[in-house]
Amino acid sequence: MRISSAWYSFRQGLKNIRRNLLFSLASIGTIVSCLFLFGLFYCVILNFRSAMQSIENTISISVFFDAGISDENITLIGEQIRTREEVNTLDFVSAEDAWIKFSEENYDDPEAAREAFGDDNPLANSASYTITLKDVSKQAEFVSFLESLQGVRKVKSSKYTADSVSALNSVVGYASFGIIIILLLVSIFLISNTITIGITVRREEIKIMKLIGATNFFVRSPFIVEGVLIGLVGSALPMALLYYLYDMVINYVVGRFSIIQNLFAFIPAKELFTTLIPVSLAIGVGIGFLGSWITTRKHLKV
């Protein structure tokens, strides 16, 4: 497209917005609402997933060995476990460490308890591997793998907790996806109506342009520009507002309720919005382009 044609399309796109200001504002408002909710869901979901990840890191699996197993076989079991992609962390807990931890958790004077037993460790056969997974939904399959290993006496896991965390993650993910899709479709519908009104107002002008040889692209481009501008403005406004609100709310919550900060750390605004802003702008422009492109193909058969 020549520069003059591009400038004409841009100016006509702005004129179309002014001519149908009420519907343009309605479309912008819908996109603002849609992307504000999208951004809000995004912030909540990512912080939720961060919190769930912290919880998942506390859901561990303990692997205990057969009595009298050699150190070489324990090392071999550890190497087999490390080859699995699901493994997040793998820590070895010796029988001595297990006894120290047990005495500190169950005796008022753990040192006296350990001295009373002397060299006779009551947890002599309790050496183990403590494992956390990247995805707790794969715990059942992983536990089956552990139980099949030669030299493994017992596998201790938190199946109910893992299933609950996995189910909660799935429900939140599906619900958020469904709501966002509905909002995007509503935005496309309103932009389509705005473009349709613009085409109706300029129908006679468009017919004349077609009669004197204007191409379909030349006729459609102002309406495409109109949709893209509506999408761009509608996506920029909620991101600016959401960035300010997110930063303000996080600072308030952390300052007022320090116990929440001890449970899990909020994702910093800069880290979160580095991805969210370009994604939202792309969605807004995409909605505007798609809505106007579909409408012009349908109504510009003059």
pLDDT per residue as tens digits for the range 210-251: 666 666 666 677 777 877 888 888 888 989 899 888 888 888
What are the tens digits of pLDDT across the range 166-198?
777 777 777 777 777 777 777 667 666 666 665
252 confidence band (pLDDT: 50, 70, 90):
confident
Q: CA-to-CA distance for 181 and 34, rounded, in angstroms?
A: 10
User: Would you say residue 161 has pLDDT above 70?
Assistant: no
User: Would you say residue 302 has pLDDT above 60?
Assistant: no
User: Would you say residue 92 has pLDDT above 60?
Assistant: yes
Average pLDDT over residues 11-35: 74
155 confidence band (pLDDT: 50, 70, 90):
confident
Q: Who wins on pLDDT, 142 or 59? A: 142
Q: CA-to-CA distance for 39 and 47, rounded, in angstroms?
A: 12
263 confidence band (pLDDT: 50, 70, 90):
low
User: Would you say residue 127 has pLDDT above 70?
Assistant: yes
16 confidence band (pLDDT: 50, 70, 90):
low
- φ, ψ of residue 257 in degrees (nearest 5): -125, 80
User: Would you say residue 301 has pLDDT above 70?
Assistant: no
CATH class of the domain whose range is 60-157: alpha beta
* Confidence (pLDDT) at 191: 63
* Confidence (pLDDT) at 209: 65
User: Would you say residue 1 has pLDDT above 60?
Assistant: no
- φ, ψ of residue 88 in degrees (nearest 5): -95, -55
What are the tens digits of pLDDT across the range 265-291?
778 888 888 888 898 888 888 877 877
- Mean per-residue pLDDT over the chain, rounded: 77
Ranges for all domains in the chain classified under CATH 3.30.70.3040? 60-157
What are the tens digits of pLDDT across the range 79-88?
999 888 888 8
Q: Distance of CA 221 to CAs 52, 267, 275, 294, Å?
A: 47, 41, 30, 13
70 confidence band (pLDDT: 50, 70, 90):
confident
